[in-house]
């Protein structure tokens, strides 16, 4: 490699893309949306799926813990339902009025000279609404959401394209957990040594590594040159495993797997000032010399 190329490479900004989770990352947990969403999910399980009330808390915790989202878990154990209906039920009545325009974050994002993309497990209606309430709707190049990773509704887990014939089938919508069609995950974990393996979910979502890899491919993102912001430790850990640089948001306690930890997304500039220094210029320091500002044409 020519000296000039090496020099240019050394001057190239470390990152060229920022990948942001949305909920509880671009606005604080204290907004109360997450709590309300959890309540709506539990209500959906009782009202729409006919699951016994006394099992809801344990079941939803187990599903969330083992499948990334309760929705992914419900599909894995055998419930079937319309995804749009589910999303409108759990997000439709959220207190969106609690989300206020955030001009400070808007200004931070707009002055960042890097690609900025949203990566959320939520549906596109919710993502658009939340971003609009925050006044951030035009701050991102694109949104990777539930529909991006789950364009069709498959009833079985398979790579076989023939599965398309099951589209629209609505079997098992009202089965109780005791039904033979439904995998008893509570019973499974009640065993001292569970023998059966957990059923797989057809839903693609974080923290599955395959979901993150698919998102990277769709948005043509190089993980080595991308910072991934999320409030979930397990999403951050999965992001790290696929090669992303990671920022845990919502706490200043940095766990293993996170390169940075921010109490709030508003602290981004204090923690990562270099992200703003890549605006076609780079600070080059030579030992014993004063700082020289150099234009970079990378």
> Which residues are at the interface with Mg ion (CB under 5 A)?
21, 23-24, 231
Contact yes or no for 80/132 (Cβ under 8 A)? no
- How many angstroms separate the CA atoms of 177 and 258, rounded? 37
Residue 249: name the closest of 37, 26, 30, 36 by CA. 26
Residue closer to Mg ion (CB basis): 152 or 252: 252
CB of 193 to Mg ion, least distance (A): 34
Task: Compute φ and ψ for 44, nearest 5 degrees.
Answer: -60, -40
Q: How far is the CB of 143 from Mg ion (least distance, A)?
A: 14
Q: Which is nearer to Mg ion, 23 or 80 (CB)?
A: 23
Q: How far is the CB of 290 from Mg ion (least distance, A)?
A: 44
Task: Tell me whether strands 260-262 and 226-230 are parallel, antiparallel or unpaired.
Answer: unpaired
The residue (of 33 and 185) whose beta carbon lies closer to Mg ion is 33
Cβ–Cβ < 8 Å for 140, 114: no
Instruction: List alpha helices for 68-113, DSSP H.
Output: 70-77, 83-92, 103-110
Do residues 79 and 172 touch, judged by C-beta distance below 8 A? yes
Q: DSSP code of 68?
A: S
CB proximity list for 14: less than 8 A, separation 6 or greater:
225, 274, 278
- Min dist. Cβ of residue 105 to Mg ion (A): 15
- Residue 29 C-beta: closest distance to Mg ion, Å: 9
Closest Cα partner for 239 from 231, 225, 228?
228
Cβ at position 249, least distance to Mg ion in Å: 8
Q: Which two tokens stand for residue 262?
A: 């921010």
> Residue 239 Cβ, how far from Mg ion at the closest point, in Å?
12
Q: Do 295 and 280 contact (CB within 8 A), yes or no?
A: yes
- Nearest CB to Mg ion, comparing residues 23 and 237: 23
Which residue is it, tokens 């065993």? Answer: 191
């Amino acid at each position: 490699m020519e000296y000039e190329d090496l020099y240019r490479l050394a001057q190239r900004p470390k990152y060229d893309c920022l990948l942001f989770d949305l909920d509880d990352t671009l606005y604080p947990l204290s907004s109360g949306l997450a709590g309300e969403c959890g309540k709506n999910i539990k209500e959906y399980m009782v009202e729409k799926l006919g699951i016994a009330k006394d099992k809801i808390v344990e079941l939803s915790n187990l599903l969330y813990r083992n499948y990334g989202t309760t929705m992914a878990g419900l599909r894995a154990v055998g419930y079937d339902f319309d995804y749009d209906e589910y999303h409108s039920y759990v997000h439709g009545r959220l207190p969106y009025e609690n989300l206020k325009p955030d001009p400070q974050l808007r200004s931070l994002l707009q002055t960042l000279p890097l690609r900025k993309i949203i990566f959320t497990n939520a549906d596109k209606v919710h993502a658009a609404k939340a971003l609009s309430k925050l006044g951030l709707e035009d701050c991102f190049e694109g949104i990777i959401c539930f529909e991006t990773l789950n364009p069709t509704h498959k009833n079985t887990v398979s790579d076989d394209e023939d599965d398309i014939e099951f589209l629209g089938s609505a079997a098992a919508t009202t089965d109780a957990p005791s039904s033979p069609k439904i995998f008893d995950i509570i019973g499974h974990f009640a065993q001292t040594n569970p023998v059966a393996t957990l059923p797989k979910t057809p839903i693609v979502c974080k923290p599955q590594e395959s979901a993150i890899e698919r998102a990277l491919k769709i948005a043509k993102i190089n993980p080595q040159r991308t910072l991934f912001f999320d409030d979930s430790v397990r999403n951050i850990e999965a992001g790290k495993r696929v090669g992303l640089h990671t920022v845990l948001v919502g706490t200043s306690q940095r766990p293993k797997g996170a390169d940075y930890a921010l109490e709030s997304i508003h602290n981004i500039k204090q923690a990562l000032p270099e992200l703003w220094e890549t605006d076609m210029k780079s600070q080059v320091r030579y030992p014993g010399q004063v700082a020289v500002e150099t234009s970079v044409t990378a």
